[in-house]
Amino acid sequence: MLKTAFAGLGDQGGPMAERIAAAGLPLAVWARRSDAAKPFGALGAEIAESPRALAETADLLCLCVTGGADVAELLFDRGMMAGLRPGSILAIHSTIAPDGFRRIEAAAAERGVAVLDAPVSGSGRRARDGTLLLVAGGVALSHIGLAIRALEMGAAAGIDPWALRDTVLAGTGASFGMDVVRRLHEPQRARHILSILEKDAALALDCLPEPHIAEWRALAAGGLERIAALAHAATALQPPPEEFPHE
């Protein structure tokens, strides 16, 4: 199971980490003040001794600190970047300048780490309620591919895929990918969507600097492959009980 590591347990970050722990997901945390991290031990989270030790445990490392200087300090001065494993994901929930993010992305690419620019906005109350706004910059195709794979795995385990989809959409795992997948079960429809997304993915990849194209192409390819399997009837999801009108 994906292990999340979280640093920045303040007004918004603290409730975000609490919701991860409350969902029963593996979690490790670190905070500058030990009293801020201590309550998470009671929730079942590991408490890391240092920023680098936290990063070394992570499949997904989330940073929700004040700003760019704090992010840079943790990643570069206190060893987080050096501790991240190839294949892990770094999510920056702080609002930072584009130049700072590009520096982070370049360093992460050298280590085989994917980066998401995912600032949050709202309040501590909205974080506790699960209604915090998160603006994520990434590859939508990877989310569609993961959604299809999740439904296929559910079907293989005897779970009705559309009941699983509706359940996920009603919870914190809701996503555009899980929503749009309902319109992809017909091969003809999947072929139409595939042709559009292949074009969009190519345009997006062309906008990336050369060192990062291969990394994001791999993420896009995963989504395109799952849609292509539906388009060519190599895999199938049973039609949902009630169709959405075609858009």
Which structural domains are found in the chain, ordered by start?
Answer: 4-134 (3.40.50.720), 140-231 (no CATH)
Query: What one-character DSSP code corresponds to residue 201?
Result: H
Supply 86's token pair: 């190839």
* Amino acid identity at 126: R
Model's pTM, two decimal places? 0.60
Supply the pLDDT for residue 53: 97
DSSP letter (8 states) at residue 239: P
Name the residue type at position 205. L
Question: 3-class SS at 89?
Answer: strand
pLDDT tens, N- to C-terminus, the chain (247 residues): 789 999 999 989 999 999 999 988 999 999 998 889 999 999 999 999 999 999 999 999 999 998 899 999 999 999 999 999 998 999 999 988 888 888 999 999 999 998 988 888 888 888 888 888 887 765 777 778 888 888 888 888 888 888 888 898 888 777 778 888 877 877 888 888 888 888 878 877 777 777 777 877 888 888 888 888 888 876 666 666 555 444 4
Are the CB atoms for 120 and 96 separated by under 8 Å? no
